Structure 1
């Protein structure tokens, strides 16, 4: 019996999860239900793809998989069919589990060799269904959950309302950290922009909510009065940089009303949490991602790979943590590989440290953006469009994905992107130009495209 199974069984009949449809499970019942659901997979260790949704049966299946010896890849249930088919073809899992389907378990040919320590796989690029996966041990995921539970001071009396996708590392971490302390959670398919979310928030007397920058921008427009419920005491934010003005707004509101607002930073590869801004520092340091979470060590390296000790000097942020992934996987053959990171992650983010030790991200070196909290690999977008015959260049910042296409109808490309990646329509802008500017080496000149984005490019 693994450590997760022992923990879950120790929670016994405590309430575990409920959803929009009124379905609910105790810890014991969820484990029993999930194990029965997974019975067709068999007892022999297997590689399982779980199609996730914010529904109690899906959370119960996840619980049972944590408690099993299987290795599981979490994929959102509404991932475009083409992207799912590509993932299955590349990694050859033994089974696909969809708890909401009439036939919840579909056995496949499988046969992929698995490393004995491999327990969990997460896509590195959210809703794009990137074939690049992060590989984790069970102990790594548990270590990050324990750190989160510690700095948030979680107890069995908590009850989060989770609307984030459960295959998304942030959503997964909400489940894991509360599972660790035996707290119940409510899940909803409604977003904060829908009345159903607020109805559920009140009905279940949720103690906390988690959101990405887009959600807090929406909450600003709604007004903080919607949050002034007697049971709601904690708000957390991750999934991209929140504007300092909003950090001040929600941090100040939380202090005035006796609540807590946590700004957090992380990466999928780190399991996912890396740092947090203590709530009492939000007003004075709203641009900061704060301090390392318990058990994590953060350092800065210069271009020569040497440590930076001085305050105010920028360098690459490096994380040492027991929750770091084993390494990446690009195909089925990589799933047999061992730990290649040894607890160390070079984040690709450029940061600096203040005199009193607070970390501030000042740049990003990789071609990634956070689109409404979901990390998007811009190279995935370019590659998908090229495979369909479109030369394209994707760029932008958090919640500002922009795609330039060469000599094509932007409306056609826009429809293709929505179909392929399930991006929200308001999340990106597609425009056409006669030719994508390139250097003599053939490298795309993204800066030139960005500079002239509003200078007559056809939308």
Structure 2
């Protein structure tokens, strides 16, 4: 029987194929090649020894992206976290999972610090941990093998037709599964990732998009709504051929507007759907279907199959009937981790994921989301577990509950000053202020049993001053 590869061998082989080709370049012009990334991986092993649990604090720089790829190509297991994650959230993650080192965006390591506990037992196949709830720093993590992320990267490269000539303009963080998938899929084909720390509202963003000859741009609904308001003529850079969107549902009229613009200007606008737990991409809407199916999530990507499951557990075959999406994919996570002990676990899911999202399929086989079965929203592209917000309110000794919809989280509280609570939540979770609203009520709607009536929260919000 052949000897099994270590967790990073398959990614090391991928990077080695591209030699001295540039892998990543940032706003300062710093350029790092694939060969240099493999040297960084070797340095990490020399500094840290074999097979460690590493936290990587990510930033929008060439050094940060290179560190991510180097760790992916090593035998270490890595959790990518946002550089501006609130200190108390980072401390909680460190205490819970006991990493052996934290690596900052410039590649410096911090082994031996008093708050770095170490000693966590890792399953031999574990390569990557991803946060399931974006900037909340939720202790619930998704566990992945290196092969799973490679499978998703290969599928993305397939349906997008990626090649080494691509120059994706990346403003999304590495710690966000969408941003990670852009890095992985382009590294797979030997493309150079043009990473930027600038946002779409800054002139430097648009200058960089043009001067660095970007071929593609990825964004969440917030980005595309902002670009529409700024003027879509900003996208008229000659080298820019592909726009991709994920991270939440783009309103159908906005999607239709981009479909019209793309068709008129010889570009591709591609909407996609995924979940962090799926590595992350699951479906895509081919551009030829966008005009007639604006707002739909499309078709399964290569290697993925999707069934719609009725409440009784049966598989729905009739068009137009909604059910929970059950996805089979080689990129599905091994399972969740809630603490360090879970990092020794094997594959709990066998490549099958119940998404918690409800969808229907039309006569063309195209899927559309109809609702959610869980308490998750997307806040400007970041997936947020509302239970995490409720838990923070409890820690603040504020009776309250979070609810709402994509890009607008609402908090009802029974005690305290709404503006004080709002400021505290923004500070704790690094939320964009425009996405969070807080109101006070005399009492939250509850049943006689004392159970919170989630269905009545909307009416209570409207009645509140």
When normalised by structure 2's length, the TM-score is 0.96
Equivalent positions of 1:353-368 (< 5 A) are 353-368=361-376
Cα shift at 1:33? 3.4
Tell me, yes or no, if structure 1 residue 246 matches structure 2 residue 254: yes
- 1:23-69 per-position Cα deviation (integer Å, ceiling 9, x unaligned): 11111123323543564222x21111111111111111111101111
CA RMSD in angstroms comes to 1.2
Cα shift at 1:100? 3.2
Q: Is the 8 A contact 1:393 1:444 kept in 2?
A: no
- Unaligned runs of 5+ residues in structure 1 are none
| Aligned partner (choices 179, 203, 206) of residue 171 of structure 1 | 179
Whole-Å separation in 2 of the counterparts to 1:26 and 1:358: 40
Equivalent positions of 1:64-83 (< 5 A) are 64-83=70-89
Cα shift at 1:309? 0.6
Q: Which residue of 2 aligns with 1:279?
A: 287
| Aligned partner (choices 435, 438, 441) of residue 449 of structure 2 | 441
Cα shift at 1:9? 1.2
- 1:332-369 per-position Cα deviation (integer Å, ceiling 9, x unaligned): 11110110000000001111000110001001010000
Whole-Å separation in 2 of the counterparts to 1:109 and 1:350: 41
SS in 1 for 2:17: helix
- 1:384-417 per-position Cα deviation (integer Å, ceiling 9, x unaligned): 1101111111001110111111121011111111
Whole-Å separation in 2 of the counterparts to 1:77 and 1:35: 24
Q: Which residue of 2 aligns with 1:87?
A: 93
Whole-Å separation in 2 of the counterparts to 1:254 and 1:186: 22
- Bigger mean CA offset, 268-277 vs 12-21: 12-21
Q: How many residues matched? A: 455
Tell me, yes or no, if structure 1 residue 9 matches structure 2 residue 16: yes
Whole-Å separation in 2 of the counterparts to 1:414 and 1:315: 36
Q: Which residue of 2 aligns with 1:104?
A: 109
Equivalent positions of 1:294-443 (< 5 A) are 294-443=302-451
Cα shift at 1:8? 0.6
Whole-Å separation in 2 of the counterparts to 1:246 and 1:29: 42
Whole-Å separation in 1 of the counterparts to 2:257 and 2:26: 31
Whole-Å separation in 1 of the counterparts to 2:12 and 2:456: 54
Q: Is the 8 A contact 1:34 1:62 kept in 2?
A: no
Whole-Å separation in 1 of the counterparts to 2:162 and 2:449: 53
- 1:192-223 per-position Cα deviation (integer Å, ceiling 9, x unaligned): 11111111101111000100011111011011
Q: Which residue of 1 aligns with 2:40?
A: 33
Note closer, same or farther for the CA distance 1:39–1:194 as it changes in structure 2 (3 Å cut): farther
Cα shift at 1:317? 0.8
Q: Is the 8 A contact 1:35 1:61 kept in 2?
A: no
Q: Is the 8 A contact 1:212 1:237 kept in 2?
A: yes
Tell me, yes or no, if structure 1 residue 224 matches structure 2 residue 232: yes
- Unaligned runs of 5+ residues in structure 2 are none
| Aligned partner (choices 53, 56, 59) of residue 53 of structure 1 | 59
Q: Is the 8 A contact 1:92 1:332 kept in 2?
A: yes
Q: Which residue of 2 aligns with 1:62?
A: 68
SS in 2 for 1:453: helix
Q: Is the 8 A contact 1:175 1:185 kept in 2?
A: yes
Moved over 4 A (4+): none
| Aligned partner (choices 191, 195, 203) of residue 187 of structure 1 | 195
Q: Which residue of 2 aligns with 1:154?
A: 162
Q: Is the 8 A contact 1:34 1:60 kept in 2?
A: no
Whole-Å separation in 2 of the counterparts to 1:201 and 1:30: 24
